[in-house]
């Protein structure tokens, strides 16, 4: 099985760990339920893992256990939305997107139904459960559905805020959440908008555009690059679709070089969205950190993120490479 060779660099910037974004989703869902009696939740026999069980405990009459049947769950969510409810349906991302795709297309995307979907345990950081459980195609699959918004929060505060933005948005939304604890990047006072990136720093040598857990690695890379005299800005692109074309165009114009980082196959993921935006605005050299046309193995999250080239040293190496091609 193919893998990526570890470059000879180390990231020194440490981040404090918080809770997993899947747990943040469960907390925010309860908050929504308390404010809006039309909020209902559905799960495909994985409520404890997705943390929708928090909603089930407080609002048992507004919770629907659909069994191991993601396709049916999507159809039920569509029906509930058409009946005036605000449904949040969750399962493992790989099951929700793969098993429910036809229903997501025909029952939700095509009629533009106001239903929300949360895919937990996204990416390879799920770890030992192996490739059958690791969603590495969900950005591409869900972005291909017309009318869908696609989100991936980077920490618990971003995750909780985006759940509320999902509820406010009129139309279908998909959000990926993660299994492991995520580094704390924000605080309760930070605000988030669908389609608007969060910028860290004003470096003009290179821009690193990342989402999900990769934002933490990007900030580690930013700190290491600063020690080398390279000033990078980091864009937390928590909205993969619609991607923040304004922030990307500004980064391409001011920095002249861009690196993307994502816990997803490079085909059809964040890098593809950013490259299209760069091509439309200010074409600039790019490098792409992501999963290289393969499925991962079963190992610890840390081992997998390192083997498949997703940690901070790989982002640093990509920056060095792109700067060689910068005009």
Rounded Cα gap, residues 241 and 180, in angstroms: 24
Read off the pLDDT band of 327 (50, 70, 90): confident
Q: Where are the chain's structural domains?
A: 21-176, 198-324
Q: pLDDT tens across 251-264, in order?
A: 999 999 999 999 99
Q: pLDDT tens across 19-74, in order?
A: 999 999 999 999 999 999 999 999 999 999 999 999 999 999 999 999 999 999 99
Instruction: Report the pLDDT averaged over residues 102-129.
Output: 97
Burial class (CB in 10 A: 0-12, 13-18, 19+), 79: middle
> Kindly report the CA angle at 25 between 172 and 158, in degrees rounded to 5?
90
The reported pTM is: 0.95
% of residues, the chain, pLDDT over 70: 96
Instruction: Classify domain 198-324 by CATH number.
Output: 3.40.50.920
Which residues make Cβ contacts (< 8 Å) with residue 181, sequence separation at least 6? 17, 18, 19, 20
Contact 48, 24 (CB under 8 A): no
CATH of 21-176, one of 1.10.1740.10, 3.40.50.970, 2.60.40.1930, 3.90.550.10: 3.40.50.970
Q: What ranges make up the beta strands (E) of 47-100?
A: 63-65, 86-92
Which DSSP symbol is given to 109?
I
Looking at every residue in the chain, the average pLDDT score rounds to 95
Q: Enter the tokens of residue 179.
A: 């299994």
Phi, psi (rounded to 5 degrees) for 96? -60, -50
Q: pLDDT tens across 196-212, in order?
A: 999 999 999 999 999 99
Domains 21-176 and 198-324 share a fold: yes
Rounded Cα gap, residues 122 and 118, in angstroms: 10
Active-site residue set: 70
Phi, psi (rounded to 5 degrees) for 202? -120, 25
Decide the pairing of beta strands 149-151 and 173-176: parallel
Quick check: 287 pLDDT over 80? yes
Rounded Cα gap, residues 40 and 172, in angstroms: 15
Q: pLDDT tens across 84-109, in order?
A: 999 999 999 999 999 999 999 999 99
Q: What ranges make up the beta strands (E) of 25-166?
A: 39-43, 63-65, 86-92, 116-120, 149-151
């Amino acid at each position: 099985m193919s893998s990526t060779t570890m470059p000879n660099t180390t990231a020194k910037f440490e981040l404090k760990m918080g809770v997993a974004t899947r747990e943040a989703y469960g907390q925010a869902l309860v908050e929504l339920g308390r404010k809006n009696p039309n909020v209902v939740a559905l799960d495909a026999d994985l409520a404890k893992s997705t943390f929708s069980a928090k909603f089930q405990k407080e609002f048992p009459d507004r919770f629907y256990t659909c069994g191991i049947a993601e396709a049916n769950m999507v159809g039920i969510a569509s029906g509930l939305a058409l009946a005036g409810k605000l449904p949040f349906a969750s399962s493992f991302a790989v099951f929700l997107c793969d098993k429910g795709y036809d229903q997501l297309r025909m029952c939700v995307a095509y009629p533009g139904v106001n239903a929300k979907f949360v895919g937990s345990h996204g990416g390879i950081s799920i770890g030992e459960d192996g490739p059958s459980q690791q969603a590495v195609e969900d950005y591409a699959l869900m972005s291909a559905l017309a009318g869908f918004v696609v989100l991936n929060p980077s920490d618990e505060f971003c995750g909780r805020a985006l759940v509320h933005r999902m509820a406010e948005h009129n139309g279908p939304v998909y959000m990926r959440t993660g299994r492991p604890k995520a580094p704390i990047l924000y605080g309760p006072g930070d605000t988030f908008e669908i389609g608007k990136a969060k910028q860290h720093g004003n470096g003009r040598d290179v821009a690193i555009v990342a989402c999900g857990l990769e934002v933490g690695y990007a900030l580690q890379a930013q700190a290491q690059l600063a020690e080398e005299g390279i000033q990078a800005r980091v864009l937390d692109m928590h909205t993969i679709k619609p991607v923040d074309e304004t922030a990307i165009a500004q980064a391409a114009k001011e920095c002249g070089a861009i690196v993307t980082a994502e816990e997803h196959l490079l085909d059809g993921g964040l890098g593809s969205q950013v490259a299209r935006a760069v091509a439309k605005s200010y074409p600039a050299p790019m490098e792409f950190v992501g999963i290289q046309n393969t499925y991962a193995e079963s190992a610890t999250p840390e081992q997998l993120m390192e083997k498949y080239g997703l940690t901070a040293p790989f982002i640093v190496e990509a920056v060095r490479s792109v700067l060689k091609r910068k005009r």
